[in-house]
Amino acid sequence: MAGEDDGKSDLKYKRVLLKISGEALMGDTEYGIDMPTCLKFAEEIKAARDEGAEICLVIGGGNIFRGLAGAANGMERAQADSMGMLATIMNALAMQNALETIGVPTRVQSGLRMDEVAEPFIRRRAIRHMEKGRVVIFAAGTGNPYFTTDTGAALRAAEMNCEAMLKGTQVDGVYSADPKTNPDAQRYDTLDYQDVLARNLRVMDASAVSLMRDTNIPIVVFSLHNKGALQSVLKGEGPSTVISAE
């Protein structure tokens, strides 16, 4: 069972938080949730859990609603952010469904009270779930407006004593330029938190990066689209960019 010392000690990171953007759940569609894509991610998570990793998830909401877009459209920002947080709860329930379809026990904990569909966020209870091998999905980001799910992910990674925050993206790391448009773009193997902040590398929000710097938790940026990539990253292998205090 995940959480027990079963001799599979080749994991570099045993307890991790995986951040998946809402947009990743769209797959090739234009909007919303593509269940085959959720299932694909669930299979990756299951394989990693079967290796003995303790995994918690934070999922964004950008495939459904972003507070900034609502504000740009004339809404009050805090109100629009509440809608964004509700979007993340929908995504969390979709991922819960995908994981449980393939036999992975899960719990959703929400930063906004939603008692009929999810537990409230209770840190010690979440840790217990992970120790029991459950994948805990944190919904509603930080539970506060004016933040993003990247910052929510950093906060939960720190609260859960995670050894790394894994950011699954469209590409396999942080590049010197956009690798989709610039063939000369180079992937960084490692970066210092300070480089990311000072050079405004746009890996994730500055508030998320600075919280990871202050708590000394490495951020590993990798591609969720490569099969087996999550397992490799947990072993410290495969293409990625590791952001830490170099």
In the complex, minimum distance from the CB of residue 55 to ligand UDP, in angstroms, rounded to a whole number: 18
Residue type at position 29: T
**What token pair was written down for 186?**
């180079």
What residues line the site for ligand UDP (CB under 6 A)? 21-23, 60-62, 66-68, 81, 84-85, 87-88, 141-142, 144-145, 147-150, 152
Residue type, 205: D
d(CA 16, CA 245): 18
The least CB distance from residue 73 to ligand UDP, in Å, is 12
Residue among 33 and 242 whose Cβ is closer to ligand UDP: 33
Residue 20 vs 130, nearer CB to ligand UDP: 20
Which lies closer to ligand UDP via its Cβ, residue 21 or residue 241? Answer: 21
Distance in angstroms (rounded) separating the CA atoms of residues 108 and 73: 31
- Between 88 and 231, name the residue whose CB sits nearer to ligand UDP: 88
Cβ closest to ligand UDP, residue 52 vs residue 62 = 62
**From the CB of 62, what's the least distance to ligand UDP, in Å?**
3
- CA-based torsion, 70, 75, 80, 83: positive or negative: negative
Please give the radius of gyration of the chain, using alpha carbons only, rounded to the nearest integer.
Answer: 17
CB-nearest residue to ligand UDP:
60
- Distance (Å, rounded) from C-alpha 79 to C-alpha 101? 34
Sign of CA dihedral 241, 236, 61, 124: negative
Least spacing, CB of residue 184 vs ligand UDP, in Å: 28
**Cβ 1 to ligand UDP shortest distance, Å:** 30
Residue from 151, 167, 170 nearest 215 by CA: 151
